[in-house]
Amino acid sequence: MTERAKVRDILEACRDRHLIALRDLATSEGGLVEDEIRRTACTYAVDQADDNSALAKWCAGPVLLGSNSTQGGSAPDVEILEKHRDEDQVQLDVNRSFVYYPEDESDKRKDLRKHELSDVITKVLRAHPMLHYFQGYHDIVQVLLLVLGADAAVPAVARLSLLHIRDFMLPTMTGTETHLQLLPAILYAVDPVLCKHLSATQPFFALAATLTLYAHDIEEYGDIARLFDFLLASPASIPLYLFAVIVESRKAELLEIEEDEPEMLHSILSKLPKPLKLESLIQRTSELYKQHPPESLPNRAWSRVSANSVLKTTHDPLQLAKQTLADGEVMFERQAAEIRRADDWKRRKLRLRQLSRKYRRPARVATFGGATIAAVMIAYWLRGSAGEMGFGSTLPVLSRLRQEAWGVLRGYLF
């Protein structure tokens, strides 16, 4: 396909809000060609829409991010919204932005860009205060700002934050860890031998690259803009597949290092090779995803992912297209609640182990070990759990059971 024909197809896909066609074009060699075509495609879609003022707020970025809706709305007035808790950290990171690109700009122009970057991030965070800023978020927003411009970047960043990288903006790192824990399963699908060689190395080597959609590591603007064509047009698991392909491409180098040297392996894997052969990596990633989709990964890795994680809520592009920012906020709260419950259960299990070790009396407990452990678990678990699980009407029964359980425990241990 010639470049001219591709541009025509991009414009038609944007005009018709044909998400699947646009995704295919973004994945194909050369992506969406160049920034001017990306912006022109957006303008063309707006000019052909019934509701120009609304669609103008969404542009090409949100089309790639999965929206075929014409809903929009005015950007929030940042001055009347409450200050977000992370704004001081935002400013520190913004001050370190635009290091590698754009090139050959005056300090005055760079200062203006930094002001625009701060403004975009602040508007999104104040409009959606549940989101937690993470270091590297500004690297992602910086790319969208340069491609789309300040006005169009705000709704694009909002949709990206709530519907594509929501897991990274939860109150804890648990959502991020879920992504990283999927990487070994992908690596095993790619190359079981290589995966075994790296098994002693925790997948945190992929954190910086996947957390920032590679924007923190790639120094050439043309490369990161091209890669964003692909990543924004794909499910949220694709950055992990891409990293697996990058690891695969370094197999010979990695196998030269002993597998019992995880620190050395981590050091090498945490840095992307240079130069990156982006086009071949993108095409290989696309092939790998088709050959080994997430639901087919070994060790039931996919089944352990929350239904509210972006790993699953971006999996079906047609379902993603129907999601709104309000849906993203609901899924955020659900996943945050799941994480709180899981963390609470972990704390209780840890406390149970500590109690077990502290009060272990082998001679006296041996006969009644199972009953003792059961008593501890029932008593400790029931403490404070009734309200969470909706057992309000059975509180008297649970209270009595808790007392009896602790009575059994005292009888066996003291």
For every residue of 166-233, DSSP letters joined together read GGGGSSSTHHHHHHHHHHHHHHHHH-HHHHHHTTTS-GGGGHHHHHTTTTTT---HHHHHHHHHHHHT
Judge whether residue 36 has pLDDT over 80: no
Tens digits of residue pLDDT in 222-251: 999 999 999 988 999 999 999 999 999 999
Given a cut of 50, whether residue 48 has pLDDT beyond it is no
Q: What is the mean pLDDT of residues 89-112?
A: 94
Who wins on pLDDT, 383 or 18? Answer: 18
**278 vs 414: which has the higher pLDDT:** 278
For 297-343, what is the HEC assignment? CCCCCHHHCCCCCHHHHCCCHHHHHHCCHHHHHHHHHHHHHHHHHHH
194/191 Cα distance (integer angstroms): 5
In terms of pLDDT, which residue wins out, 46 or 410? Answer: 410
pTM here is 0.80
* List of long-range contacts for 339-342, beta carbons under 8 Å, 24+ apart: 339/170, 339/171, 339/172, 339/174, 339/175, 341/388, 342/174
Tens digit of pLDDT for each residue in 319-334? 888 899 999 999 999 9
Give the chain's mean pLDDT.
82
Burial class (CB in 10 A: 0-12, 13-18, 19+), 48: middle
Across residues 51-61, what is the average pLDDT? 34
Residue with the larger pLDDT of the pair 257 and 17: 257
Residue 8 banded pLDDT, cuts 50, 70, 90: confident
**Is 349 or 186 the better-scoring residue by pLDDT?**
186
Per-residue confidence (pLDDT) for residue 383, from 0 to 100 = 54
Tell me: pLDDT of 313 over 80.
Answer: yes
pLDDT at 387 over 80: no
Mean pLDDT of 298-317: 94
Residue 67 predicted with pLDDT over 90: no
* Nearest one of 50, 247, 229 to 144, comparing CA atoms: 229
Ramachandran class of 9: left when φ > 0, alpha when ψ lies in -120 to 50, beta otherwise = alpha
How much is the pLDDT for 364? 47
Read off the pLDDT of each residue in 250-270 and give the average, rounded to a whole number: 94
